Structure 1
Amino acid sequence: MSTLALKDVEVNVTADDFNALEQRVLRAVELLKKEREARATAEQNAATLQQLLDEQSTQLTEAQEQVKAFEKERETVRRRVERLLGQLEEISA
């Protein structure tokens, strides 16, 4: 479209229409800012929760290993007590 053709086009945008459009754009910008802030907060929360999950997973693994060690130790002690009881029975007999 040439410059001459643009001069011939009549633009019927009233001040009220322009103000309404401006308000809609400003609301859209504010909404976008709020959504970006909410997303950043959610991402930060997710990162914090992931770190806590990793720490607790490590603690759980350590606790499971400790339980296994205690069970093995308990079994060793049980066998020793049974052996000592057997020896006491031999002495008593």
Structure 2
Amino acid sequence: MSTDVSFATTERPDGALVLAVAGEIDMSNAAAFATALAAALADAGSDSFVVDLTAVEYLDSAGLAVLFQHVDHATLVAAPLLAPVLAIAGLDDITTIKN
């Protein structure tokens, strides 16, 4: 059984592509998360894009592994409860994490 997660792509006024993720990301839906990130990267072209994780309630190691694959092109936006998890995983050393 897959955990509920949703993805929405928008564009900010400055032209930056934003992939907003809501719900829980775990091993049951990590492949869908990877597909959504790959699509956002393709839509952004050579530009970086924003991954808005402020509505993510849970993120396990499978979701972290997917994020690591895209950190070269992604800026992460995280809620105050999720930001420390991303930092402990070391993502703050290799990409920008905003609150």
User: Higher relative contact order at CA 8 Å, sep ≥6: structure 1 or structure 2?
Assistant: 2
Larger relative strand fraction: 2
Bigger radius of gyration among the two: 1
Larger relative helix fraction: 1
Same fold (TM over 0.5): no
Q: TM-score, normalised by structure 1?
A: 0.22
Q: TM-score, normalised by structure 2?
A: 0.20
